[in-house]
């Protein structure tokens, strides 16, 4: 390390070289956080992390569903490279033997550890969370998670149900605990063990909330009185939305309490009073998850690890809360693809004070200079974290990279830590995609198996617009037919930030394609 003097004459410690990494991933978390300007959500711990971090205000997932997004982020390969669009294949077998972010750190001598939901469990990570490739020790999963989708929610009738809305008395739950409480406990234990060991570590912690069901401690509901909750500003399905673009939120419909509403498929509207309760429970789940993040951050301070540990906080994708008449993820809209992305780098985004002041007091993030407003993507996380931790960034992938184990399809965002943004950069574009089994909403539209995919919606987000083309897709050879257009969407962000008025037409399609030809060749080759 080196010692430097700041402007106020206090002495700060700047650690050089390799840093530990605490990598925190929430599940289904949109940018409903105080540090992202949400006036209702109470997220004090993530907000104070943001106050000392680089905050990426416009970060986007590459596919708005768990397994494809997490695999894409952790390999820095887009879904068309991992060829994972559902939950039913393992990229090392199905596509290529791609090196993951934790595997990269492990190969450089780090002890790598996984707690909770980091990779998507099951086939998508070889039923092992990609152990032993990615992790030094087997991944930890909270024992109480096995009850998550069982009948654990006490109804007004006194019986237990598998509800969407499931605020509980934790002491009455099996083991007197919940999955994220267990994961936080284990993560704290591992941090304490690493502080004693002193060797470099990469600890990934995946919290399950705010993923449904909203099985959370009931006291968090008190933070959000129903009379303070409002409906989405655009609760109706846009009139010009192509049917192929609509996600019918099938997983939400399957919950016992939602089934009782008898909402018609696919476009029926959930009653307003129940919509308000969904939003209330989602926000409460965010605050519950935020409290677990706070436990990890305070542990870093208590163990004097803050000055040597990079902290990354993000989510796998967003979640619709009634916008466009949709719930859950499974779409290309901003509410489903936009995620928080926050990076704390000791000695870069902040210095620790020798007077032992806390590293994480609250500061309004919008008053700080460390805010990036231009578009970034989750495939950028791997090269950026690797570089900022002292390992350097992988090389950019060649056009055909199925046989290349270590490379990135994202950008190294290190420059954003060194140079303040000078304004909007229209050449920076985020790409997302989503598969569909048909042109109209089906029971499997939200999560079709690979063999059933017939249409792929490719979407790009710039400062000025969100543009989506729904194109014919062959799941046998993974080929896209760019002349087989099943629908299009074009939303101009200045006049339509909620993406409610689709102005797509053949003429505008030709105009956008003309603009795209003048941009650097990044992202999807079909654009």
The residues carrying an active-site annotation are 66, 120
Report the C-alpha gap between 130 and 93 in whole angstroms: 12
3-state secondary structure at position 147 = helix
* Number of Cβ within a 10 Å radius of residue 16: 9
Which phi and psi angles does 376 have, rounded to 5°? -135, 170
| Sign of CA pseudo-dihedral 491, 495, 501, 504 | negative
Task: Residue 135: name the closest of 163, 110, 161, 158 by CA.
Answer: 110
| Beta carbons of 278 and 253 less than 8 angstroms apart | no
CA 6 to chain CA mean position, Å: 35
**How do strand 11-14 and strand 214-217 relate by DSSP bridges?**
unpaired
From residue 322, give the alpha-carbon distance in Å to each of 232, 267, 347.
6, 12, 41
Distance CA(272)–CA(317), nearest Å, equals 25
Please say whether the beta carbons of 195 and 211 come within 8 A: no
DSSP state letter for 31? S
Q: Residues of 156-178 as b/e, b for ≥16 C-beta within 10 angstroms?
A: eeeeebbbbbbbbebeebeeeeb
Three-state SS at 430 = strand
């Amino acid at each position: 390390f080196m010692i430097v003097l700041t402007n106020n004459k206090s002495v700060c410690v700047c650690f050089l070289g390799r840093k530990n990494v605490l990598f925190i991933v929430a599940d289904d978390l949109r940018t409903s956080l105080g540090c992202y300007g949400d006036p209702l959500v109470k997220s004090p711990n993530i907000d104070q992390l943001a106050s000392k971090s680089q905050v990426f205000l416009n970060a986007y997932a590459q596919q708005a569903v768990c397994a494809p997004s997490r695999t894409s982020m952790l390999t820095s390969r887009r879904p068309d490279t991992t060829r994972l669009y559902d939950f039913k294949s393992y990229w090392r077998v199905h596509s290529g033997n791609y090196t993951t972010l934790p595997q990269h750190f492990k190969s450089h001598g780090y002890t790598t550890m996984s707690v909770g939901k980091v990779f998507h469990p099951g086939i998508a990570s070889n039923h092992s969370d990609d152990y032993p490739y990615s992790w030094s020790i087997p991944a930890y999963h909270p024992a109480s998670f096995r009850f998550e989708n069982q009948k654990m929610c006490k109804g007004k009738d006194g019986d237990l149900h598998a509800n969407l809305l499931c605020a509980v008395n934790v002491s009455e739950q099996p083991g007197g605990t919940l999955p994220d409480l267990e994961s936080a406990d284990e993560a704290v234990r591992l941090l304490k063990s690493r502080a004693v060991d002193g060797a470099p570590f990469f600890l990934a912690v995946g919290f399950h909330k705010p993923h449904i069901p909203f099985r959370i401690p009931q006291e968090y509901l008190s933070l959000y009185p129903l009379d303070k909750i409002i409906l989405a500003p655009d609760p109706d399905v846009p009139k010009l939305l192509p049917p192929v673009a609509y996600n019918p939120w099938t997983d939400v419909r399957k919950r016992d309490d939602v089934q009782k509403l008898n909402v018609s498929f696919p476009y029926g509207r959930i009653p307003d009073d129940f919509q308000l309760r969904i939003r209330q429970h989602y926000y409460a789940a965010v605050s519950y998850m935020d409290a677990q993040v706070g436990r990890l951050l305070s542990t870093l301070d208590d163990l004097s690890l803050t000055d040597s540990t990079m902290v990354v906080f993000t989510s796998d994708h967003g979640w619709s809360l009634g916008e466009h008449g949709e719930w859950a993820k499974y779409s290309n809209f901003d509410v489903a693809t936009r995620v928080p992305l926050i990076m704390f780098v000791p000695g870069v985004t902040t210095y620790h004070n020798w007077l032992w002041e806390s590293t994480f007091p609250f500061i309004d993030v919008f008053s700080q200079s460390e805010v990036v407003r231009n578009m970034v993507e989750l495939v950028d996380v791997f090269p950026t974290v690797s570089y900022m931790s002292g390992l350097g960034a992988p090389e950019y992938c060649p056009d055909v990279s199925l046989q290349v184990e270590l490379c990135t399809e994202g950008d190294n965002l290190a420059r954003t830590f060194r140079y303040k943004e000078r304004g909007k950069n229209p050449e920076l574009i985020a790409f997302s995609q989503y598969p569909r089994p048909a042109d109209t909403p089906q029971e499997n539209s939200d999560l079709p198996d690979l063999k059933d995919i017939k249409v792929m919606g490719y979407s790009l987000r710039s400062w000025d617009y969100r543009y989506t083309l729904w194109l014919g897709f062959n799941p046998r050879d993974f080929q896209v037919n760019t002349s087989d257009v099943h629908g299009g969407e074009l939303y101009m962000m200045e006049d339509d930030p909620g993406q409610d008025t689709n102005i797509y037409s053949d003429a505008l399609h030709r105009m956008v394609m003309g603009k795209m030809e003048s941009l650097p060749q990044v992202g999807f080759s079909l654009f």
